Amino acid sequence: MQKKHGKPKIITKDELASGVKSFRIHAPLIAAKAKPGQFVIIRIDERGERIPITIVDSDSEEGTLTLIVQEVGKTTKKLGRMREDEEIADLVGPLGNPSEIENFGQVVVIGGGVGVTAAYEEAKALKKAGNRVISIIGARNKDLLFFEQEMRQVSDELNITTDDGTRGRKGFVTDVLKDLIDQRRHIDLVFAVGPTIMMKIVSKITEPHGIRTIVSLNPIMLDGTGMCGACRVRIGGQTKFTCVDGPDFDGHLVDFDELMTRQRMYLKEEKLALQMYENNVR
């Protein structure tokens, strides 16, 4: 008997931190193929937009994917309000290139904000490949910090920062990175994922020391399959598509300023859509 090709269903939903939700979604085909570093494109309903979300974890036996979403705009807030057993209109993946995982030696994995989820996937894979993993995670305050336990399990050293000092060290992830470099710690690779400005500063810090730095970029996307060029970024002076050439790139070659400008392209529309949504929900 033929199995019906059903829509992806939300199996479980948890709140990890203020405005940060974790979803386990039934998507057996994608779960069987997903590798660290890859993402899905999700569209929650008929009028929805297509947005990329990193695959944090995948269980090929259970046939589920774990996606973690920070609620910033209409789509993520709408997703945040969905309940267990509800169906997602469209889910496509795994997209992007898997991260390059090797035994590099001693690596520093940095996760800022909701980027800690991608950092976790990366750290887990690097640890499994035999690397010694020094992790740095940071958030604005302790309520926005999450995945501490998970990161501790896959790291040899874990550093925590919060902007306001309510947990861990007061300051930024980049402060810890600077210290590690000043202490002349041996670093074979830095992997950083988080707000674009954070990845830019990490790359600027490592560049004069010639430390290989990989960043995972998050431009606006539309199709995610290399069809439209919305996610184009300048890498070493050449235009590349994040969805098919990335999302990982050499941080020293990325034009971060251009990326940040392009990420702001629809600020006005995003604000309007969110306002209208919040008014309706009330």
Q: Which residues bind other proteins (CB under 8 A)?
A: 5, 29-30, 33, 43, 47-50, 74-75, 89-95, 222-223, 225-230, 232-234, 239, 244, 258, 261-262, 264-266, 269-270, 272-273, 276
Q: Which residues contact 64 (CB under 8 A, 6 or more apart)?
A: 11, 24, 25, 26, 27, 28, 31, 58
Q: Which tokens hold the place of 244?
A: 């098919």
Least Å from the CB of residue 247 to other proteins: 13
Q: Report, in Å, the least distance between residue 277 CB and other proteins.
A: 9
Report the residue number, 43 or 178, with the smaller CB distance to other proteins: 43
Instruction: Decide whether 19 or 48 has the Cβ nearer to other proteins.
Output: 48
For residues 194 and 216, give the distance between their C-alpha atoms in angstroms, rounded to a whole number.
Answer: 8
Q: How far is the CB of 227 from other proteins (least distance, A)?
A: 4
Choice between 90 and 175, CB closer to other proteins: 90
**Helix 196-206 with 173-182: angle, nearest 10 deg:** 10
**CA torsion through residues 271, 280, 48, 245, sign:** positive
- Closest contact distance (angstroms) between CB of 17 and other proteins is 25
Q: Considering the complex, state which of residue 29 and residue 181 has its C-beta at the smaller distance from other proteins.
A: 29
Surface-to-core class of residue 167, CB atoms within 10 Å of its CB (0-12 exposed, 13-18 middle, 19+ buried): middle
Cβ distance to other proteins smaller for residue 5 or 186:
5
Least CB distance from residue 154 to other proteins, whole Å? 26
Nearest to 65 by CA among 21, 36, 94, 25: 25
- Asked if 128 and 202 touch (Cβ cutoff 8 Å), the reply is no
